[in-house]
Structure 1
């Protein structure tokens, strides 16, 4: 009887997810889910190090334990929605880049409390959901030129890498030259350089869990040499959400200000195009795109991403989005939402390992290499920009350079959006500038002159 019940369950799962029809097997889907988890699980250490109160933000940050638990729960919830509803082999978690924007631009630079920043994240998710279920999404996608989408992604990548280099002590402040190289005789800096080296080697070798393996090996070496604290244990019951859960809703009225308008717009813009690009890229690798190049169930997939953002904000973390590391699971054979469900299961297991991840999250020299490598991967978009045409290269270059040099994704995005229509007009191509771009130009000019501090 038990065998028959198991067979019926397997048949139902197969029919619902379309495992056999996609040329896959149950075992392959489950294994692919584990590969995806290994490729992206570094977020459990890096996100708390960026947003937590034991990092650069200090007492302005979110309590470390709460960020860890929120990161895991947001990944579980968002990935399950994507797997069970949209039925794609794509996992979600708090996104790199947007967590840095949340921490260093919104909280640290603008002085906005993390509770209000969570409200902005929630609001961006709500707007994203509305756009995802209406035809407005397509109009906006068509309005923003590809070159600017690529530039924003690349600029965020360089910003994240710059942050990693700073945390590693490889780049330090200088009164004479603004920035300079750090002291390479310091143990923490040497440990970060070691971590960067081994992570890059793992990555070049094509290991799916390259970033995670690099983080773990660096942490172990750091413990051996007394540079990283030993964990007090391995397992612990998840807790801490009582400090963050619902803060986004409670503080939602504070999100309706001129300053927060630009914050929400930036979060929305970056997540919108990052999610779209990731979904299309992963689906293309998995052979799931339609013959005309469109993404089946696109509205559900984008809605799942926005629901993940909303849930993550309510729980207590920055924007939750589709992870490009899902390609690791796809390369291992994952083709259906069952892969995502398996990934969510592993995040549920990892949620009980805070003592282990907290030690890693609290050591900048351990997480810095991960940030640098993630930045490298994001900056690959530079190669797709048409540098031969000044009307593209000028606004793209300004976006890419201003983002890290001002330590602000919002500033970089705004500068690029202001310059793009101007250079297009100067080039005699004003008819190609979508009306939406002129609206964005006016919005960001207002930001520079009236809202930016």
Structure 2
């Protein structure tokens, strides 16, 4: 019975290690748990519109649980899902505050976007979108996301500021930065020594060391009962379906959701070596479908679009490869509903080093990019560069694809023109 259950999650006793999958799932959760604290902060301006902020923590955890369970049982891959930061900002700042629409309007747009995403996944359109990306660019996604993930780690440490290398040199001596540097040393050392669970072990050590340093705050209470999610449940308003602005919002969300997910999945899977010679990713359809279904379920629970988190790369770095890892991540989110003060006490300076090391593992696939094949390597370079500079996976993908298309068609046209000119002579 136990073996059959694990088989449903893509786990094989001959190939996989249960201990590794469990550590992978916990590591992914620990690097993602910040979203539970951040969501209420992002949505706080909507409280004036009657948005039930207290219910959002519960809705966020539930959407992460449901979405990650979809990934565990449908795709059988170790990805964690939760409401994404990019689309959170679009939901609140653009749709509600700038355009002036209600949060019910935005939630309805999320639902419709998710349903369209599902249609894309079950149709041939998903395959068309995926196959138009050359293999070289897929490896560029992994490399670019590697830099992106590492930059998130440095920003979370307080060392890296927007547009500069360092805030100030004195920031290197702050308790937060010193803990980060300690964590970076430990994760690097554990990685070199091939210690299983090294990333998670480093997070735990830095969290404990942070107690006397005043960085890790002791929670006032260990248990906190979650607020009811009912005020956010299925709060849709379909009267906007015929409004042009509604479909502008839906299209924008769909674009970011599809390409952010595509870039994250391809990048993380490629860095883990799970990519075939023809550039295809195994189970890509089920992975994308899981993400789409997570968006739909998240909208019903009252959250902005749920997406595959790039922090899942830390779980892959720990060796997670099956849905067991995702199941563990989902169970951790379930536990966090009650024990949230403990998990939210983990400082970002403890999890940031794991992000940097995970970024290193993703960067390693740059060796697969054929630099001398300029038709693909130049767009690949632009993808990596723009993803790092803009801090946006979607911007990097879009830049790479557009430059590749322009170069390909221009090169093809010039080749035909030269051939026709030679024939005429």
Distance 1:72 1:48, change over 3 A: closer
2:189 maps to which of 182, 195, 201: 201
Are the equivalent residues in 2 in contact too, given 1:83–1:341 (CA < 8 A)?
Answer: yes
Tell me whether 101-110 or 380-389 shows the greater mean CA deviation: 101-110
1:219 maps to which of 207, 226, 249: 207
Could you tell me which residue of structure 2 aligns to residue 45 of structure 1? Answer: 33
Distance 1:404 1:326, change over 3 A: closer
Are the equivalent residues in 1 in contact too, given 2:141–2:263 (CA < 8 A)?
Answer: no
- What is the deviation of 1:232? 1.6
Query: How does 1:25-424 map onto structure 2 within 5 Å?
Result: 34-48=22-36, 51=39, 53=41, 69-84=58-73, 88=76, 90-94=77-81, 99-102=84-87, 122-172=111-161, 182-183=169-170, 184-239=172-227, 241=229, 245-246=233-234, 256-258=246-248, 261-272=251-262, 274-275=264-265, 299-300=285-286, 302-315=288-301, 316=303, 318-321=305-308, 323=312, 341=327, 344-360=330-346, 363-424=347-408
SS of the residue corresponding to residue 114 of structure 2 reads helix
SS of the residue corresponding to residue 320 of structure 1 reads strand
- What is the deviation of 1:410? 3.6
- What is the deviation of 1:91? 3.9
CA distance in 1, matches of 2:272, 2:363: 18
TM-score (norm 2): 0.72
Distance 1:46 1:150, change over 3 A: farther
CA distance in 2, matches of 1:185, 1:281: 33
Tell me whether 105-114 or 120-129 shows the greater mean CA deviation: 105-114
CA distance in 2, matches of 1:149, 1:293: 8
CA distance in 1, matches of 2:363, 2:113: 24
Are the equivalent residues in 1 in contact too, given 2:20–2:318 (CA < 8 A)?
Answer: yes
- What is the deviation of 1:112? 6.6
CA distance in 1, matches of 2:61, 2:287: 20
TM-score (norm 1): 0.69
Distance 1:101 1:326, change over 3 A: same
CA distance in 1, matches of 2:364, 2:317: 17
Are the equivalent residues in 2 in contact too, given 1:231–1:359 (CA < 8 A)?
Answer: yes
Q: Per-residue displacement from partner, 1:366-391 (whole Å, max 9, x unpaired)?
A: 44334433433443443332222222
CA distance in 2, matches of 1:208, 1:63: 42
Q: CA RMSD in A?
A: 4.6
Q: Tell me if 1:428 matches 2:415.
A: no
Tell me whether 293-302 or 196-205 shows the greater mean CA deviation: 293-302
Return 5+ residue gaps in structure 2 as ranges: 416-425
CA distance in 2, matches of 1:66, 1:354: 14
- What is the deviation of 1:349? 3.0
Distance 1:169 1:182, change over 3 A: farther
Distance 1:112 1:274, change over 3 A: farther
